[in-house]
């Protein structure tokens, strides 16, 4: 699934870097907090292991072979954020030192394989496994399902990135300048390939290694249930992520969204009278991004960029809210702990 340079426009590459950076930042902070001084040797050795894993040529029943990514496996053993960093490191080494995967598309490749893949895989794993025993079959199923769905999700993201290229970036005569297939070809192509081959390979590798770990090194598997609050937060992020994915699909639909009519649209629809309040309001709030478009850019780029900015804003507000709430509950915990302290 490594997208080489040339398939994505520099603008898309730039946007994907912008999307990846906050995740990397978050990952570094989270990992450092847990691993502290051990961060360098642990991540380095596990990234080295991931590299070797990615090199294995895996046989499937029926004769086909493929390569796995192993992001979900890494997330299960080391935690999701360590997996984000670990897979990013491997992709970086592949791009910088082996010429496998582009330098400009590094952001996009990381988003697909180092961010979407491990986070989705871990989320599904946690949801299915919940608090079952480290050696239980349920956990094995969770690992297999999580890894399969994770790589399919990653391929969906890749398909989106590739599929929007012709619409957004073409010459005056219609020649696509980068990846030449639209969403209606790119998405099915990526999905089918991963549902049928790369997905099973990923599931086989993850399941096989996980099962062996369960038998011989079960200490590497942590069996704690996801904390309730953590689970709800994941659900929220997952929903937001899904929405973010869906925005480019808006390009497939034509016409304006129902209910989002401006004054002119209403007039055209035959509503001769315009609700008076609407007319007054229309001029009052000069939204910084009128009609979802950045000034002086192609309408479609504007649409997507607005989606990114909009989601970033919403996410930021939610994060602030979350911080404020957890600080409140932490203060409450501390005061009750003081009362109940045993010394």
Partner 1 sequence: MKGEGFLTKNISNFTHTLESVILTEDLCHAPGLLQSLDSRVKVVTFVLFIVTVGLARSLAILGTIFVLILIFSFLSKVSLRFFLKRVLLFIPIFTAVIALPALFITPGEPLIAVAGKLIITEQGARTAVLLFLRVVDSLSFGMLLILTTPWTSILVALRWFRIPSLLVDILGMTYRYIFLLLHTANSMFLARRSRTIGTLSSGENRRWLAIALATTMAKSQHLSEEVYLAMLSRGYQGEVRVLNDLRLKRRDFLWVAFALLAAFILLWGNSL
Min separation Cβ 29 and partner 1, Å: 11
Question: Closest by alpha carbon to 70, among 102, 48, 92?
Answer: 48
Q: Given the rule CB under 8 A, which of 35-43, 114-122, 264-272, 306-314 is the region that contacts partner 1?
A: 35-43
Nearer to partner 1, 7 or 122 (CB): 7
Report whether 187 contacts 18 (CB < 8 A): no
The answer to the question of residue 290 lying near partner 1 (CB under 8 A) is no
Element (H, E) at 22: helix 10-35
Gap between the Cα atoms of 247 and 161, Å rounded: 12
Find the shortest distance in angstroms from Cβ 110 to partner 1: 12
Among 20, 69, 77, 160, binds partner 1 (CB under 8 A): 77
Where on the phi/psi map is residue 282: left (φ > 0), alpha (ψ -120 to 50), or beta? alpha
Asked if residue 111 binds partner 1 (CB under 8 A), the reply is no
Tell me how far the alpha carbon of residue 299 is from its chain's centroid.
25
**Of 15-23, 83-91, 138-146, 263-271, which segment contacts partner 1 by CB under 8 A?**
83-91
If one asks whether residue 140 binds partner 1 (CB under 8 A), the answer comes out as no
- CB of 114 within 8 A of CB of 81? no
* Tally of CA atoms within 13 A in the half-sphere of 315 that contains its CB: 17
Task: In whole angstroms, give the CA distance from residue 230 to residue 92.
Answer: 30
- Residue 245 within binding range of partner 1, rule CB under 8 A: no
Shortest distance in whole angstroms from residue 203 CB to partner 1: 11
Footprint of partner 1 (CB under 8 A): 4-7, 9-10, 13, 28, 32, 36-49, 51-53, 55-61, 63, 65, 77, 85, 89-90, 92-93, 95-99, 102-104, 171, 173-181, 185, 204-205, 208-209, 211-213, 216-217, 220
């Amino acid at each position: 699934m490594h997208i080489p340079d040339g398939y994505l426009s520099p603008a898309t590459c730039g946007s994907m870097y912008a999307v990846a950076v906050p995740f990397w930042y978050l990952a570094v902070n989270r990992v450092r907090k847990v691993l502290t001084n051990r961060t360098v040797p642990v991540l380095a050795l596990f990234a080295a292991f991931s590299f070797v894993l990615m090199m294995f040529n895996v046989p499937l029943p029926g004769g086909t072979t493929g390569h796995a990514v192993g992001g979900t496996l890494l997330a299960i053993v080391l935690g999701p954020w360590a997996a984000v960093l670990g897979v990013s490191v491997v992709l970086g080494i592949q791009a910088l030192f082996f010429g496998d995967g582009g330098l400009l598309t590094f952001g996009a490749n990381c988003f697909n394989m180092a961010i979407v893949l491990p986070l989705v895989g871990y989320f599904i794993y946690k949801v299915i496994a919940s608090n079952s025993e480290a050696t239980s079959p349920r956990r094995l199923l969770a690992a297999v399902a999580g890894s399969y769905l994770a790589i399919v999700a990653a391929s969906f993201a890749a398909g989106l990135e590739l599929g929007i290229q012709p619409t957004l970036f073409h010459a005056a005569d219609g020649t696509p300048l980068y990846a030449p297939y639209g969403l209606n070809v790119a998405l099915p192509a990526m999905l089918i390939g991963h549902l049928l081959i790369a997905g099973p390979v990923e599931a086989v590798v993850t399941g096989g290694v996980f099962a062996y770990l369960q038998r011989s090194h079960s200490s590497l598997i942590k069996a704690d249930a996801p904390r309730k609050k953590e689970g709800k937060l994941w659900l929220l992020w997952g929903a937001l992520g899904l929405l973010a994915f869906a925005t480019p699909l808006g390009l497939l639909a034509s016409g304006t969204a129902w209910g989002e009519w401006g004054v002119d649209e209403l007039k055209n629809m035959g509503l001769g009278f315009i609700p008076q309040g609407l007319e007054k309001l229309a001029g009052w709030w000069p939204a910084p991004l009128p009609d979802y478009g950045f000034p002086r850019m192609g309408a479609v780029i504007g649409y997507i960029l607005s989606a990114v900015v909009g989601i970033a804003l919403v996410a930021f507000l939610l994060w602030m809210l979350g911080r404020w709430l957890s600080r409140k509950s932490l203060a409450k915990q501390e005061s009750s702990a003081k009362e109940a302290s045993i010394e």
